[in-house]
Amino acid sequence: MTRSVYVTGIDRGDGRQVVELGVMELLTRQVDRVGVFRPLVHDGPDRLFDLLRARYRLSQDASTVYGMDYHEASALQAERGTDELVSRLVDRFHAVARDYEVVLVLGTDFAATQLPDELAINARLANEFGASVIPVVGGKDQPAESVRAEARNAFRAYEGLGCDVLAMVVNRVAADDRAAIAERLAARLPVPCYVLPDEPALAAPTVAQITHALGASVVLGDEAGLARDALDFVFGGAMLPNFLNALTPGCLVVTPGDRADLVVGALAAHSAGTPPIAGVLLTLNERPSEEILTLAARLAPGTPVISVAGNSFPTAAELFSLEGKLNAATPRKAETALGLFERHVDTADLLKRISVARSGRVTPMMFEHELLEQARADRRRVVLPEGTEERVLRAADVLLRRDVCDLTLLGDVETIRKKAADLGIDLSSPSTQLIDPQTSELRDSFAGKYAELRAHKGVTVELAYDVVSDVNYFGTLMVQEGLADGMVSGSVHSTAATIRPAFEIIKTKPDARIVSSVFFMCLADKVLVYGDCAVNPDPNAEQLADIAVQSAATAARFGVEPRIAMLSYSTGTSGSGADVDKVREATKLVRESSPGLRIEGPIQYDAAVEPSVAATKLPGSEVAGQATVLIFPDLNTGNNTYKAVQRSAGAVAVGPVLQGLRKPVNDLSRGALVSDIVNTVAITAIQSQGQELPA
C-alpha cells in the first residue's frame, strides 16, 4: 500500500510551505516516484506545486494533483453533505496513489475557504487516505506560552480525531524563544516537536515580486539582481550623508526619481559593499537623466532600479503588505527554506518515523541528496580558490543556505564582496571566510613551509613567497596545514594547475601508488563508478590494479557496493595481446592484494553491465552483468566512454573525484555547472570525514 504523509495546520500564516518542501526533500531521498495531492485548491496558479515540480523533476500530470477547488467543495458540502465531499476526494486521492510509492498530501490553507470546521475535514481526509499527519502551528509575533499552548491543543485535536500524528512542527517563532519552546514541548508531547525560528529572508519579497505587485517598470538591472530579497525598506528624503548612514544590508531604497544624488549614493555604497543593497525603487514616475543612469549602470552592474507612478506614501503602504512566497521563480528561497528545515528538524528520525522503504533504484537526485546529507552530518571546511568566479559564488550560496559545510573563498576580498553583492549573495555568515593570498598574514609561514618541502628542487623562501600567492598553492597549503579539510578548484584553472600543488605538497597516501580519479555516473536507476577517466594516460598493470582498489574504496565510501569490472576489448580468455595481457595481469594483482574484493577481468563493457550478455560470455560470474565499478585500460578509452554515456544516455556525471591523495583535493571541469560545483564540494567534505592522516 502506498505510504502517505499529510502536512496540515490549524490556521493561516504558519509558513507551512517550508515544512512541505522539507518533507518532499526527505521523501525524494528515499524513493524514486513521489506523488503530490492537494485535496482542495484556490483558483489560479499553485506556486508550491510549481516549485515542487521544477525542483524535483516531477512528471506527474498537474490535472491529477488536485481534488477540487474550494468553491466546488463548498457547494457540494452544502448540497450533499460532508460524506459525499470526502468520498469524492478519497477517489481522486487513490487515483494518484496507485501510480506512486509515496504521496505527499498538502492540506487546506485556512484562507477564506468557507468550509466549516476545516481542521476536522483535514483530519478526516488524512484518516480516509490512510495518511500519517504532521500538523504545523504558526508562532509569528506570538508569546512563547501562547505558542506552546497552541501546539499542545493542535496535537490533541488531531489525535482526538483519530489521526496518526507523526510529529508536530512549530514554525516562525522568535529566535530567542525557540530553545525554550522546544524544551517545554518535548516534555509535554508524546511525539517529536520541531521548532523553527522565523527566517526574515523567507518572508522578504524579491525585487521581481515587488516589481510585479506594484506594476513597476524595470529601468536597470538583470535577472540575478531582480532575484534579490528585499530585507528592509529605506525611504530616501534626507541629505546624502544621513541617508547613507540609514542604509541596511539587503534594503530596497525608495526615493523620488528626481533625487539623483540618493540614487548614485546608494549604488556607490552597494558597489563598495557598505552595505550591499537589494535595489532602488523610484517614485513619482520620475527618472534620472540618461547620464545618471549610465553612471548608475557602471557603478553597480545588474543592480535593479525600478520605477512606479505613485508617490512614496501609498507605495510604502503596498510594500509593507507584501510577503515573499516560495515558488519556482525563487530557487534561492527554497535553498534557505530547506536549510532552515534541516537545521532544526531531526531529519533522520523523522524519516524513520515516516517508515518509507528505500527504493531499489538509485536516481541521480537521490544520489545528490545523499551527498548533501552525508556532508552535513560531519561538518567540514572546504577552500575554494576561485572565489571571484560567479559559478563558484552561486555554489557557495547554495552550500551556505543548505548548511552543508564551512567555506573559505580565496581572491581579492573586495572583488569577492562586490561580485557577491551584485549577485545578491550574503557572505556575512560566521561559517564563511574570505582570504586574499597576496595580503594574508599566512603568506610568510606558507612560503617557509613550501620552501622546506621543495628544497630538494632548489626552491628558496624568496621564490616560495611568490609561488604561494597563487590561489591553488595557497589553498593546498591551507589543507596541508589543517586550516581547511579539502579543496575544490578547476572551474577556471586547468587540471594541471589544480592538482600539481597537491602532488608537490599533500602527496599520495602511503598505500597508494598513484593519484587517480573516478566519475560517479548517475544513470536513470543506478550509480556506476568509472575510473580512471581524467588523470593517468596509460597506466601499467600495477598502476591499473591500484586504480581498481582505490576506486572500489571510493565507491564503498559513497554507498556503492563495489563489484569491479576490468574492462578490455575481449572477455575472459577469448583475446590476447599486450593490451589484454595488461588488464589480465592487473586483475591478478588485485585478487592477490585484496582477496575480499569481487573482480572480473578482462571483460567487455556489455558483459560487465548487461546480465543477458554476461550469461552467455561469463556464466556463473558474481560480477559480470552487475558490475558497479568499471576500470578502463587507459585515459583515451575512459574519457571518451564517460562523455559518450553522459551525452547519449543522459547520465549525470559527478566528478572527476581524485583518489590516492593524503587529503582531498578535487578538480572541476571548466564547463562545470553550479550543481556540479555543489556536488563536488560535498564529495570533498565527505572524503575528509574520518580521514586523519599524519602530515
Residue 425 grid coordinates: 549573495
CATH topology of domain 516-660: Rossmann fold (3.40.50)
DSSP 517: E
Residues in a beta bridge with 225:
none
pLDDT tens digit string along 546-596? 999 999 999 988 888 899 999 998 887 766 778 888 999 999 999 999 998
Domains 3-197 and 205-321 share a fold: no
Residue 441 grid coordinates: 598574514
Range from 191-195, 456-460, 649-653 carrying the lowest mean pLDDT: 649-653
d(CA 471, CA 51) in angstroms, rounded, equals 38
Cis bond before residue 276 (omega within 30° of 0): no
SS3 content of the chain, % helix, strand, coil (to 5): 45, 20, 35
Q: Are 583 and 568 in contact (CB under 8 A)?
A: yes
d(CA 18, CA 401) in angstroms, rounded, equals 14
What secondary structure does DSSP assign to 202-244, as a single string? HHSPBHHHHHHHHT-EEEE--HHHHTSB--EEEE--S-HHHHH
For the cut 80, the answer to whether the pLDDT of residue 312 exceeds it is no
d(CA 26, CA 2) in angstroms, rounded, equals 16
pLDDT classification of 314: cutoffs 50, 70, 90:
confident
pLDDT tens digit string along 40-62? 888 877 888 999 998 888 888 88
pLDDT tens digit string along 406-419? 999 999 998 998 88
Q: Does domain 361-505 have CATH number 3.40.50.10950?
A: yes
d(CA 592, CA 204) in angstroms, rounded, equals 62
Average pLDDT, the chain: 88
d(CA 562, CA 599) in angstroms, rounded, equals 9
Q: List all residues 6 or more positions away from 599 whose beta carbon is below 8 Å from its beta carbon.
A: 548, 563, 564, 565, 566, 587, 590, 591, 623
Q: Are 308 and 281 in contact (CB under 8 A)?
A: yes
pLDDT classification of 545: cutoffs 50, 70, 90:
very high
Q: List all residues 6 or more positions away from 496 whose beta carbon is below 8 Å from its beta carbon.
A: none
Would you state the pLDDT for residue 348? 87
Second CATH level (architecture) for the domain 3-197: 3-Layer(aba) Sandwich (3.40)
Would you state the pLDDT for residue 93? 92
Burial 348-359 (b: 16+ CB within 10 A, else e): eebbebbebeeb
Residue 211 grid coordinates: 516589481
Burial class (CB in 10 A: 0-12, 13-18, 19+), 526: middle
Domain spans of the chain?
3-197, 205-321, 361-505, 516-660
Residues in a beta bridge with 631:
531, 566
Q: Are 288 and 220 in contact (CB under 8 A)?
A: no
HEC per residue, 595-618: CCCEEEEEECHHHHHCHHHHHHHC
Which of 603, 582, 605, 584 shows the shortest CA–CA distance to 530? 605
pLDDT tens digit string along 249-261? 889 999 888 888 8
Which of 547, 574, 575, 556 shows the shortest CA–CA distance to 658? 547
pLDDT tens digit string along 220-234? 988 888 988 888 899
For the cut 80, the answer to whether the pLDDT of residue 292 exceeds it is yes
Pairing state between β 132-138 and 193-197: unpaired
For the cut 50, the answer to whether the pLDDT of residue 1 exceeds it is no
Q: List all residues 6 or more positions away from 508 whose beta carbon is below 8 Å from its beta carbon.
A: 514, 515, 660, 661, 662
How many of the other CB atoms lie within 10 Å of CB of 457? 9
Range from 23-27, 444-448, 572-576, 671-675 carrying the lowest mean pLDDT: 572-576
Pairing state between β 406-410 and 217-220: unpaired
Rg (CA), the chain: 29
Backbone φ and ψ for 668, nearest 5 degrees, come out as -105, 155
Percent of the chain residues past pLDDT 90, beyond the cut = 39
pLDDT tens digit string along 447-458? 999 998 888 888
Would you state the pLDDT for residue 116? 74
Starting at the edge strand found earlier in the chain, the sheet holding 527-531 runs: 598-603, 563-567, 629-631, 527-531, 516-522, 652-659
d(CA 277, CA 256) in angstroms, rounded, equals 17
d(CA 256, CA 288) in angstroms, rounded, equals 10
pLDDT classification of 154: cutoffs 50, 70, 90:
very high
Burial class (CB in 10 A: 0-12, 13-18, 19+), 291: exposed
d(CA 145, CA 117) in angstroms, rounded, equals 25
For the cut 80, the answer to whether the pLDDT of residue 113 exceeds it is no
Residue range 109-124: mean pLDDT, rounded: 79
For the cut 80, the answer to whether the pLDDT of residue 364 exceeds it is no
Residue range 165-185: mean pLDDT, rounded: 91
For the cut 50, the answer to whether the pLDDT of residue 613 exceeds it is yes
Residue range 660-688: mean pLDDT, rounded: 90
Q: Are 164 and 133 in contact (CB under 8 A)?
A: yes
Q: Which H or E run contains 133? A: strand 132-138
Residue range 244-271: mean pLDDT, rounded: 89
CATH topology of domain 205-321: 3.40.1390
Residue 305 in 3-state DSSP? Answer: strand
Would you state the pLDDT for residue 648? 84
Would you state the pLDDT for residue 693? 39
Burial class (CB in 10 A: 0-12, 13-18, 19+), 466: exposed
**Any idea which residue has 552543508 for its cell?**
404
Would you state the pLDDT for residue 477? 95
**Any idea which residue has 600539481 for its cell?**
500
d(CA 276, CA 261) in angstroms, rounded, equals 17
For the cut 90, the answer to whether the pLDDT of residue 382 exceeds it is yes
pLDDT classification of 486: cutoffs 50, 70, 90:
very high
Range from 152-166, 472-486, 511-525 carrying the lowest mean pLDDT: 511-525
Q: Are 217 and 306 in contact (CB under 8 A)?
A: yes
Question: Which amino acid is it at 188?
Answer: R
Residues in a beta bridge with 243:
none
